[in-house]
Structure 1
Amino acid sequence: IIKGGDIQNVVDSKLEGEFSIDSARKVVEIAMSCISPNFAERPDISQILAELKDSLSLEIVQRHGGEHDVTESTSSLFQSVTAPFPR
């Protein structure tokens, strides 16, 4: 996917092209690093979250032209994503 540059085909079609290809590529790279056959090469969850937060920040800035409070948006999103799941 990354080498072939076929990012468009893995992004939800409901976005209708309204996303940054650079952000999408970064998310795919993060996902690919998580499936390395060698456990030692896989990032830990804090690394993954930090990289996803950076990618989301880029997307928000590009979409809103820096008018939006990126810190507040990403913090509230990641707070809901990283909350413990009920068992």
Structure 2
Amino acid sequence: LHTGCIPPIVHRDIKTTNILLDQNFQAKLADFGLSRSFPTGNETHVSTVVAGTPGYLDPEYYRTNWLTEKSDIYSFGIVLLEIITNQPIIQQSREKPHIVEWVSFMIRKGDIRNIMDPNLHQNYDIGSVWKATEIAMSCVSPSSIGRPNMSRVANDLKECLISENSRTGESRDMESKSMEFSMGIYTEVIPKAR
């Protein structure tokens, strides 16, 4: 949406219920009712009335009414945290009710195992889950400047998946199927997750 469409499109309502899976478990984004196209050129944002789903809404966009592609990145980061933790976005019974606050708190404690979806029964590569969590947390940076672009997020998640597949012995062809698009961006070497 951000780089493959002319003009670029910002969805404004990325959330788990708007990500559908087809019979091959390929993700399809739905509900473009709030989407906005971006003028091509040097514009970094569009001023617009805030719209989206509470909990997924970029706090910077909410504060400034400035919509950027990084607003979608924030929402996608929330989706990643939901997937990683299998927790609701807001849970009043937690010490830190919002998922971003809770995961940040747990990371500061170094407690990745209690962040992870308990249904995984700790059957995962700890380096991959740290990296996936770090990717999600970079997406939900309070400032849009601190958030990666979607191409970077996709490449980093692909690295996590490759690492996990090599651990489990799966031989998926990662250059096809779900990652059929070429990113064409520079990827710097990132230190291994904790």
- Work out the number of aligned pairs and report it: 75
Spell out the pairing of 1:41-80 with structure 2 (5 A cutoff).
Answer: 41-64=146-169, 68-70=170-172, 72-73=173-174, 75-78=176-179
Cα displacement (A) at 1:26: 0.4
Residues 7-66 of structure 1 deviation map (CA, whole Å, 9 limit, x = unaligned): 1112111111110111110011001101111111100111001000001100111121xx
Q: 1:76 to 1:37 in 2, by over 3 A?
A: same
| Higher gyration radius (CA) | 2
d(CA) in 1 for partners of 2:117 and 2:174?
Answer: 21
Identity level (%):
35
* Equivalent residues of 1:2, 1:28 under 8 A apart: no
Unmatched segments (≥5 aa) in structure 2? 1-105, 181-194
2:119 counterpart of 1:17 = no
- Residue 76 of structure 1: how far off its partner (Å): 2.5
Q: Which of 99, 108, 112 does residue 7 from structure 1 map onto?
A: 112
CA RMSD of aligned residues (A): 1.8
Deviating beyond 4 angstroms after TM superposition, the runs of 4 or more aligned structure 1 residues are: none
- The code of the aligned residue for 1:76 comes to K
> 1 or 2 for the larger relative contact order (CA 8 Å, sep ≥6)?
1
Residue 21 and residue 74 in structure 1: after superposition, are their counterparts in 2 closer, same or farther (change >3 A)? Answer: farther
TM-score, with structure 2 as normaliser: 0.35
Whole-Å Cα distance in 1 between the matches of residues 161 and 120 of structure 2? 15
Hey, what's the Cα distance between the residues in 1 that align with 2:111 and 2:178?
A: 27
Q: What is the identity, as a one-letter code, of the residue corresponding to 2:116?
A: V
Q: TM-score, normalised by structure 1?
A: 0.73
Higher strand share: 2
Are positions 1:40 and 2:145 aligned together?
A: yes
